[in-house]
């Protein structure tokens, strides 16, 4: 049985239509995960300007709770007030769906405090916060999510994405990938596999003060990455450490504002195909996803067990 599809790409020669490319890759992996689709895409950054993506309800709440729209309106007002209190200037605010919001902010304060304060609001979950990162995830296939959130027009240098088959956690936005590595700007993770020491590692991370928003084992990889980088590790250091610290079968991708990284576990049971040229690096669970954006004869390779790779934009 197939289970989940992951994909990533990074352009070494400048910004392109990365939203359209990631959509094409994930459309070709739809058969690996019909429950939800997610994208973490990276554009250009400006000093002291950030994009915050958040949700104020789950999609299913719109049909389950007849008062939810009024609750969302009240939560949105609280978000606006809290941002103003923290000294964050809202440059732009968008509402792609009735429950998900995009804020472009000018802010020179403590970004961790800002994200934490917003999440004190009932029903609020910050999906991503960063100067380059925008994280979009929702129920449905790549075509639906991409059109809903206007990803076709997004220009950037790199991105990662995920099509999910729910096996051990709920079908909702909270359990969908990618996961933002709170509280770090611009770090996101997608994963295919199963982590068998999830609860042990989760309790350890929680003791260190990290927060979890779901019961999905894949979120651990984002929190684990955030913890390592907080301790001064490089992305490559963190990926190498994960192979010995994390038990189970896993292949995962991590993106930062300037890097794309990959790690496979000791058994290398979860597939990954790699294409690399002077201008582009593309990875996916199946070669068909790479051919969706490189429509010519290409040579690909399969990363081996315990392999760690990091590419720069």
Q: Spell out the domains of the chain, with CATH numbers in brackets.
A: 5-44+142-312 (3.60.20.10), 46-131 (3.30.70.60)
pLDDT in tens, 9-60: 999 988 899 999 999 999 999 888 778 899 999 998 888 999 999 999 988 8
User: What are the Cα distances from residue 227, in Å, to 163, 230, 286, 308?
Assistant: 26, 5, 30, 19
pLDDT in tens, 160-208: 999 976 655 566 787 788 999 887 889 999 998 889 999 999 999 999 9
Residue 303, pLDDT score: 85
Q: How many CB atoms lie within 10 A of CB 235?
A: 20
pLDDT classification of 1: cutoffs 50, 70, 90? very low
Statement: residue 308 has pLDDT above 50? yes
CA–CA separation, 86 and 11 (whole Å): 36
Alpha-helix runs per DSSP H in 3-110: 18-27, 61-64, 68-85
- Kindly name the residue from 4, 133, 253, 292 that is annotated as catalytic: 4
Residue 34, pLDDT score: 73
List the structure tokens of 313. 């934009």
Query: Span 206-230, mean pLDDT?
Result: 91
Sequence-distant (6+) residues with CB within 8 A of 142 are 23, 26, 27, 29, 30, 37, 161, 163
163: β partners: 5, 37
Going by C-alpha positions, the residue among 286, 281, 290 that lies closest to residue 192 is 286
CA–CA separation, 167 and 102 (whole Å): 29
List the structure tokens of 123. 């029903």
Query: Span 217-225, mean pLDDT?
Result: 92
Statement: residue 2 has pLDDT above 60? no
List the structure tokens of 219. 């979120």
Q: How many CB atoms lie within 10 A of CB 307?
A: 17
Sequence-distant (6+) residues with CB within 8 A of 174 are 58, 125, 213, 214, 216
Task: Say if CB 128 and CB 188 are below 8 A apart.
Answer: yes
258: β partners: none
Which has more confidence, 3 or 243? 243
Residue 271, pLDDT score: 86
Query: Span 138-157, mean pLDDT?
Result: 92
Residue 185, pLDDT score: 82
Residue 20, pLDDT score: 96
pLDDT in tens, 102-145: 999 999 999 989 999 999 999 999 999 999 999 999 988 899 99
Catalytic site includes residue 216:
no
List the structure tokens of 154. 């997004």
């Amino acid at each position: 049985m197939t289970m989940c599809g992951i994909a990533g790409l990074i352009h070494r020669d400048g910004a392109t239509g990365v939203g359209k490319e990631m959509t094409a890759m994930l459309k070709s992996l739809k058969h690996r995960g019909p429950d939800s689709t997610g994208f973490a895409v990276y554009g250009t950054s400006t000093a002291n300007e950030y994009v915050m993506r958040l949700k104020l309800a789950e999609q299913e709440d719109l049909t389950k709770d007849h008062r939810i729209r009024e609750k969302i309106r009240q939560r949105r007002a609280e978000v606006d007030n809290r941002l103003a209190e923290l000294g964050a200037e809202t440059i732009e605010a968008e509402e792609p769906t009735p429950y998900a919001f995009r804020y472009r902010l000018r802010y020179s304060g403590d970004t961790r405090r800002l994200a934490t304060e917003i999440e004190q609001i009932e029903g609020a979950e910050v999906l991503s916060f960063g100067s380059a990162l925008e994280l979009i995830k929702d129920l449905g296939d790549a075509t639906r999510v991409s059109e809903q959130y206007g990803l076709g027009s997004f220009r950037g240098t790199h991105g990662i994405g995920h099509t999910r088959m729910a096996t051990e956690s709920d079908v909702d936005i909270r359990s969908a990938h990618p996961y933002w590595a709170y509280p770090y700007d611009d770090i996101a993770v997608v994963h295919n596999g199963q982590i068998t020491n999830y609860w042990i590692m989760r309790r350890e991370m929680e003791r260190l003060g990290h927060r979890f928003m779901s019961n999905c084992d894949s979120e651990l990889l984002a929190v684990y990455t955030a913890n390592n980088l907080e301790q001064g590790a490089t992305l490559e250091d963190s990926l190498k450490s994960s192979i010995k610290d994390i038990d189970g079968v896993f292949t995962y991708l991590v993106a930062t504002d300037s890097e794309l990284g990959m790690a496979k576990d000791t058994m290398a049971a979860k597939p990954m195909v790699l294409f690399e040229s002077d201008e582009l690096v593309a990875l996916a669970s199946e070669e068909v996803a790479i051919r969706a954006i490189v429509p010519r004869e290409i040579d690909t390779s399969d990363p081996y067990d315990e392999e760690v790779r990091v590419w720069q934009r």
